A and B are shown apart, each in its own frame.
Chain A
């Protein structure tokens, strides 16, 4: 644009005064000084937000992984109860039902529980030292279904009730449905928290950017003076915010990963206690798979990108107001 594009002689001729030109670069100062941006607060905010987001995502991943594990385990099993009926020998009924189930295609393993084993199952509710002879305790038979096959449940039911009218077949479907809806609720709650965290991040970053622009208004004006366009000016600021966003993201995500890494051993200390067992039941082993850690890292990068984007948006909006 300026006439320096065309060849020309020196503007000033210093004659013998001409200085030796040093070889070293002299443009060392950044155009927007780093110290002029209140960076530490922003790094802290982004770090906290990334940490919260990582914990949320990690928990959702753990819950859905252990729920899926449960479901596949439970779905591959059916339970048959044979209830005692007046005038019938329950041991014989149980044996006949077990035979009938074995004959069904798709069943790979049948395990009838003996009287003593059935009593053991009831022990947590009824206490030990109970004589089963006094109680009409149903007999339980667990059958394992060939994975990948869909069992003809109606046929099985027919066959079972033929040999023992008091027997009932349970494929745990209702229970699985409940599990599924609980997992779904956890995922939705997680997504809700993530959305809130991201909105809070955008708001904080916009405030920080506006503050930095206000503090550096004289610089922006001078840059306008020397003919710098808004894009050039915005990029001077943006590189700071990108760095701050990445710093915060790395800190927050790193701490969250450590939490997940150590939680396994922490869970170990609590195992055996009721609380520890509850959490273990809900979250499985606490250990994220490698792909889970990868998801957390990707999320941290995403938050850094959101930081840069929010900052950029605010920069251009603010630059429109400054002349």
Chain B
């Protein structure tokens, strides 16, 4: 589903922060992406989401060489990817419910066709009482759960999560991990970037470890 060949990335004229990446993400797989802070986890997720272009090498996503894609095709591919970034990127003028429903809304679907699904998911992540609240009054953990709910609501083929348990307590962290596992069982390939060892110890999964710009894989 995803294939990287000799991929390298640098910002501007800086050093190459990712070097010679060669790996594949099979469909339905589950993996943790880990490494020390500043190792390039976020950058790698952005490469996977096509919001960064590699400075060299080949990135193949869903069978497409991404260097050949136009803007509309990228938008279509992104509809198959869910992403949770560290800064959440919720829209402040929309309620939690509307933020989570956004992936459905931009496809032009009728609201009644997904309302129940969105509300169920919000309850599951513990935001049932906060559905009509605007993001500015949510706590960091609540925002994080809203961002996760938005990323998983449309059951993407590929889920990318950047430190998804960074702002929540261990109990809720386990609950969110279970959500990712459920999502994976229903067919989504999941990549969770984290340096939270206790989170990784809770689930036996493939580990991609970034170290000094290179990727080491522990199956």
Q: CB within 8 Å of B: which residues of A?
A: 1-4, 8-12, 14, 17-19, 21-22, 25-29, 31, 33, 36, 218-219, 221-232, 320, 323
Main secondary structure on chain B at its contact with chain A?
helix
What are the 4 A-B residue pairs with the smallest beta carbon separation, nearest first?
A227-B79, A12-B124, A228-B106, A227-B78
Pairwise interchain contact A2-B98, C-beta atoms closer than 8 A:
no
B6 on the A face (CB < 8 A): no
B39: which A residues are within 8 A, CB to CB?
none
Give the interface size bracket for B toward A: 35 or more
- A–B pairs, 25, beta carbons within 8 Å: A1-B107, A3-B156, A3-B187, A3-B188, A10-B120, A12-B120, A14-B120, A14-B123, A19-B119, A19-B120, A26-B115, A26-B131, A27-B105, A28-B98, A29-B93, A29-B95, A36-B93, A218-B89, A222-B89, A222-B90, A225-B78, A226-B103, A226-B106, A227-B81, A232-B106
B78: which A residues are within 8 A, CB to CB?
224-227
A226: which B residues are within 8 A, CB to CB?
78-79, 102-103, 106, 150
Pairwise interchain contact A26-B79, C-beta atoms closer than 8 A:
no
B128 on the A face (CB < 8 A): yes
The distance in angstroms between the C-alpha atoms of A70 and B150, with both chains bound, is 73
B156: which A residues are within 8 A, CB to CB?
2-3
Report the minimal beta-carbon distance from A53 to chain B, rounded to whole angstroms. 35
Q: Contacting A12 at CB < 8 Å: which of B75, B90, B182?
A: B182
Pairwise interchain contact A25-B89, C-beta atoms closer than 8 A:
no
Report the minimal beta-carbon distance from A51 to chain B, rounded to whole angstroms. 34
The distance in angstroms between the C-alpha atoms of A219 and B107, with both chains bound, is 16
B101 on the A face (CB < 8 A): yes
B153: which A residues are within 8 A, CB to CB?
11
Report the minimal beta-carbon distance from B96 to chain A, rounded to whole angstroms. 10
B55 on the A face (CB < 8 A): no
- Assuming the contacts A2-B79, A2-B156, A3-B157, asked whether A27 and B101 have C-beta atoms less than 8 A apart, the reply is yes
Pairwise interchain contact A25-B121, C-beta atoms closer than 8 A:
no
In this complex, what residue of A is CB-closest to B90?
Answer: A222
In this complex, what residue of B is CB-closest to A227?
Answer: B79
Given A3-B188, A31-B105, output 12 extra A-B contacts at Cβ < 8 Å.
Answer: A4-B154, A11-B117, A11-B121, A12-B123, A22-B115, A26-B101, A29-B93, A31-B94, A222-B89, A222-B91, A227-B107, A228-B106
Pairwise interchain contact A21-B106, C-beta atoms closer than 8 A:
no
Pairwise interchain contact B71-A227, C-beta atoms closer than 8 A:
no
Main secondary structure on chain A at its contact with chain B?
loop
Which residues of B134-182 have CB atoms within 8 Å of chain A's CB atoms?
150, 152-157, 179, 182
A9: which B residues are within 8 A, CB to CB?
186
The distance in angstroms between the C-alpha atoms of A130 and B31, with both chains bound, is 115
In this complex, what residue of B is CB-closest to A228?
Answer: B106
Report the minimal beta-carbon distance from A301 to chain B, rounded to whole angstroms. 28
Q: Contacting B116 at CB < 8 Å: which of A8, A21, A31, A320?
A: A21
The distance in angstroms between the C-alpha atoms of A22 and B119, with both chains bound, is 9
Pairwise interchain contact A2-B80, C-beta atoms closer than 8 A:
yes
Pairwise interchain contact B93-A1, C-beta atoms closer than 8 A:
no
- Assuming the contacts A29-B94, A29-B95, asked whether A223 and B106 have C-beta atoms less than 8 A apart, the reply is yes
Report the minimal beta-carbon distance from A28 to chain B, rounded to whole angstroms. 8
Pairwise interchain contact B98-A29, C-beta atoms closer than 8 A:
yes
Q: Contacting A21 at CB < 8 Å: which of B71, B83, B115, B150?
A: B115
- Assuming the contacts A2-B157, A12-B124, asked whether A229 and B75 have C-beta atoms less than 8 A apart, the reply is yes
In this complex, what residue of A is CB-closest to B111?
Answer: A27
B204 on the A face (CB < 8 A): no
